[in-house]
Structure 1
Amino acid sequence: MIWVVLALLIFIFQIATILIAEFRHPSKAMAWLLILFVFPVIGFVMYYFLARSFQRRRIVRQRRIISEETRLEALRRSRLLHRPEDLGSGEFREQERMFALLQQFSLPITGCNTTQVLNNGETTYASILEAIAAARHHVHVEYYTVRDDRVGRRFQRALLDKLREGAEVRLIYDGIGSYELSAAYVRELEEAGAQVQCFLAPRIAFFDKRINYRNHRKIVVVDGIVGFVGGINVGDEYVGGNKRLGFWRDTHLRIEGDAVYSLQEVFMRDWWFTARERLTDSRYLPEHGCVGEDQVQLVSSGPDAGPDAIVQSVFAALAVAKRRIYITTPYFVPDKGVLMGLKTAAASGVDVRLILPYVADTRLVMLASLSYVEELLLAGARVYRYHKGFIHSKVMIVDGLLGSVGSANMDLRSFYSNFELNALLFDTRTIEELAQTFMDDLDDCHEIRLAEFAARPRLQKAGEIAARMLSPLL
């Protein structure tokens, strides 16, 4: 009898620990409790190693201090926008509250940029490799996934060429996203003089209880002048090399101008975190002439940050939408606020459209995504599935107010667990270009009809329910 009481007390302790630790995220708490009930001891061990908060760690506080030091230099060199009427979109004149929110984020709204939207892998790689080939002082590269394949070797050769010419090369890759990257690939770069860092290697991250936190950013900065951000990693699949997924539809962004300082700052913070090296040379933040009038704000978020900047920017944009909300995302697992924002907008007459993949790279996440479709359709939103191949773009367009291109999916992992980076774009030309590309993508989509979707098999519905319950952990 005493053993039963002891086991019950231990079980209650485990439940209480999860509830207290996750009281800010009820859906995440419920997902972990489900695992705990199914696997009473194993579930708690998994929670202990996978779900520890990042913000309590001393190294994170140090990282913020370094960020502030580099930030001051970037601000001094940038043309900053301080009033809603300064933005290219006249619609911001009526959005003082949203503008005030964006002003609170750690990276500023800059007004002296040239941007180019890059659709799909080949176009993106060509532009990045061209920029790398022109580098004189440094090349900074940060990716979630780097593969030792045909595309990966193209990147490696470009970096080796720069090293032979005397340029500095730094590379950060994520330990989980690049777990297949060969030691030989890294060794060749290091022997040539590159500095290479793995962001939270799986074995270290597991025992340090941080394996759940991944660096999902995609960053390239060349000489502090040209930068790239978006959804495309380094691998053959991004040029259609995965036979199961086929054609890979994605979106990236090339930037010249003030916003590159913000991009460099994010890289510097991540370099400090991985290498414990401060990059203080003024040539990392060089002077540049004003190359354009595009207005850009980089929005960085992650478990080390205070406010959840990306989800805040998404929610704020949804809340003020009047005409249209177009979203493309490979994974759709929103929190309650974002879901309610979409449903409320659709119910009030806003043209809400969502593009999801038809071919899934992760079956469980796709089932979780589909679990939200019926309630969106009932609210009046329109949902499409992309049939040409796999769509991996992370794009949002709201009215003529803003467009967003970046690494963050419309899911809980990107909102709260991953280190992510989005670019908010405010000039009318780029917003309309993104909107036109969205409409072009609809030509390769099948629209989901409510009656047809409601009649889907019961087994699929059951799978969607299970996946949705686990979705906070996906």
Structure 2
Amino acid sequence: MRDVFSPSRIPFRFATLIVALLCTGCATPKARPVVPGETVAPAIVTASGALSEAKAEQLVDRRLAPAQDDEHVRELIDAFRAQADAPLVAGNRVSLLIDGPQTLAAIRKSIESAKHHVHVETYIFADDEVGHEFSDLLIARRRAGLEVRVIYDAIGSVTTPGAFFDRMREAGVEVREFRPLDPVRTPLPWKINNRDHRKIVVVDGRIAFTGGINISSTYESSSTTRPGPETGRDEAWRDTHVEMAGPVATQFQALFLATWTRAGGKIDNANPLYFPAPEPAGGELVAAVATDADDKTETRIYATYLAVVEHSTQRLWLTNAYFAPNKEFRQALIAAAKRGVDVRLIVPSFTDSGLILHASRSTFEELLEGGVRIYEQRYALLHAKTAVIDSALSMVGSANLDMRSFLHNNEVNAVVVGSGFAQRLEAVFERDLKDTRELDLEKWRERPLSDKIKEAASSLLSYWL
């Protein structure tokens, strides 16, 4: 099982590349222009409805520590809102979940407590011990009378046999495959390059999970076991997820239902049980920022990332599994470092995709020269996708900092505005730093010529990886 690449998928990868090159040009992700006085950011929403800008500002003030309550942080949050489309929603409890065991246990507990429905959207639903545990649980909840729906990606779950999903269907679980490889069901060949990389679980419209973790035994053990590169490609991945209780769960519900319908599923979207009356569960401000790669005109995840990088003033800490962004994004990181921002990037030292690893490393010399500090995780395969900016705004989701996530995949990030959650994510980042080695520019320049050749070759394909 691999999240992005494996030998078993080489034929598909190259077929996709050829088809895509023939059928489409290389699009460029773009942020929409922000015109002062004309660009209207989505309102901040509470259980009682949308807030006026004055009340929204007061609510943001309460979520920020006194040290973060300044003009620069306001500009950062406003820049994010101008690109996000989805409104920030108040009244949520957000739990930070580290690695597979903690995340999978929290999801199981929530599913076991469900009263009406369970919706699961995942890139990988593996035919292994964890996959069977979850399928058994979903079947049990369906037999208990709940509505249970599953969306899985055809490529992400390509090694999972059809019989695995048929067993769930026979038990009454509704299952849909996203972008089947069958040309009859996906007749437009370039659509095959659009994958559903999201990881969403919604329970009763009140609790939602998202992040980087798939349903797979890869996550059966914690990264604290430090498996190393020999066994770490297949187990104990380092990843991050969040559990959100409160009104923002309806944003994730809407995303699930839209994908469900596109995948051919039937559902009554007007059923109030899917969108229950909002009940505050905490104090966090959260938005679900999603990209739909079926629409090439929108690149919200890229736009929000770029906006917060460009408006950061103190600290920009990124953890990312597959880092191969375009030149505009790299230049924004360098510009932030040059204006005094503490820009740090944690990336893998080994991974499940050799091509993307080398494509990522092809960018390091430029970034190191520009003042970006880069750290490689040494002991576990890094799969997390997180960002924390100026101790005020945090992102946790499925989106990598590469062109596949920016342009080709359906992705989703949970974005939290507030100092409390940011400080928790910063603490995780600092813990992760203890398992890394920092790259030194002079030593990096001395790496073997064979590595430089691999990097140069892989960078030519980075748009499609």
> Above 0.5 in TM-score?
yes
The 1:419–1:383 alpha-carbon spacing in structure 2 relative to 1, beyond 3 Å, is same
- The aligned runs of 1:107-122 (5 Å cut-off) are 107-122=86-101
Matched, 1:359 2:345: no
Q: Which deviates more, 215-224 or 346-355?
A: 346-355
Given candidates 368, 372, 375, the residue that maps to 1:384 is 375
CA–CA distance in structure 2, aligned partners of residues 420 and 328 of structure 1: 17
Q: Per-residue displacement from partner, 1:59-85 (whole Å, max 9, x unpaired)?
A: xxxxxxxxxxxx9xx979565454344
Following superposition, the deviation at residue 349 of structure 1 comes to 1.7
User: What's 1:235 paired with?
Assistant: 216
Q: Per-residue displacement from partner, 1:207-240 (whole Å, max 9, x unpaired)?
A: 4211111000000000111110100000011224
CA–CA distance in structure 2, aligned partners of residues 121 and 169 of structure 1: 22
Given candidates 240, 248, 252, the residue that maps to 2:241 is 252
Following superposition, the deviation at residue 109 of structure 1 comes to 0.5
Q: Per-residue displacement from partner, 1:160-213 (whole Å, max 9, x unpaired)?
A: 111111000000000100111122211111111111000001233764211111
Higher helix share: 1
Q: Per-residue displacement from partner, 1:332-377 (whole Å, max 9, x unpaired)?
A: 1112221111111112221111111111210010000001111111
User: What's 2:456 paired with?
Assistant: 465
Matched, 1:346 2:346: no
Matched, 1:269 2:249: no
CA–CA distance in structure 2, aligned partners of residues 330 and 193 of structure 1: 36
| CA RMSD in angstroms, aligned pairs only | 2.6
User: What's 1:286 paired with?
Assistant: 276
The 1:457–1:253 alpha-carbon spacing in structure 2 relative to 1, beyond 3 Å, is same
Following superposition, the deviation at residue 456 of structure 1 comes to 0.5
CA–CA distance in structure 2, aligned partners of residues 386 and 121 of structure 1: 17
- The aligned runs of 1:3-402 (5 Å cut-off) are 45=19, 47-48=21-22, 79-80=49-50, 82=53, 83-87=56-60, 88-89=63-64, 90-91=68-69, 93-94=71-72, 95-96=74-75, 99=78, 102-103=81-82, 105-204=84-183, 207-209=187-189, 210-240=191-221, 243-245=231-233, 246-278=235-267, 279-305=269-295, 306-402=297-393
Q: Which deviates more, 371-380 or 115-124?
A: 371-380
- The amino acid that maps onto 1:461 is K
User: What's 2:443 paired with?
Assistant: 452
The 1:442–1:93 alpha-carbon spacing in structure 2 relative to 1, beyond 3 Å, is same
Please state whether the residue corresponding to 2:461 is helix, strand or coil: helix
Please state whether the residue corresponding to 1:391 is helix, strand or coil: coil
CA–CA distance in structure 1, aligned partners of residues 70 and 307 of structure 2: 12
Following superposition, the deviation at residue 401 of structure 1 comes to 2.5
CA–CA distance in structure 1, aligned partners of residues 293 and 16 of structure 2: 25
The 1:46–1:264 alpha-carbon spacing in structure 2 relative to 1, beyond 3 Å, is closer
The 1:252–1:49 alpha-carbon spacing in structure 2 relative to 1, beyond 3 Å, is same
CA–CA distance in structure 1, aligned partners of residues 331 and 282 of structure 2: 37
Q: Tell me, yes or no, if the aligned pair for 1:225 and 1:260 is still in contact at 8 Å.
A: yes
Q: Per-residue displacement from partner, 1:388-429 (whole Å, max 9, x unpaired)?
A: 110111000111230100000011110111000001111211
Gaps of 5+ in 2: 1-13, 28-41, 223-229
Q: Per-residue displacement from partner, 1:129-158 (whole Å, max 9, x unpaired)?
A: 000001111000000011010000111111
Please state whether the residue corresponding to 2:244 is helix, strand or coil: strand
Gaps of 5+ in 1: 1-38, 54-70
Given candidates 380, 395, 400, the residue that maps to 1:404 is 395
Could you tell me the TM-score, scaled by structure 1's length? Answer: 0.83
Following superposition, the deviation at residue 268 of structure 1 comes to 1.0
Following superposition, the deviation at residue 247 of structure 1 comes to 2.7
Identity, % of aligned pairs?
A: 34
The 1:377–1:184 alpha-carbon spacing in structure 2 relative to 1, beyond 3 Å, is same
Please state whether the residue corresponding to 2:195 is helix, strand or coil: coil
CA–CA distance in structure 2, aligned partners of residues 276 and 426 of structure 1: 34
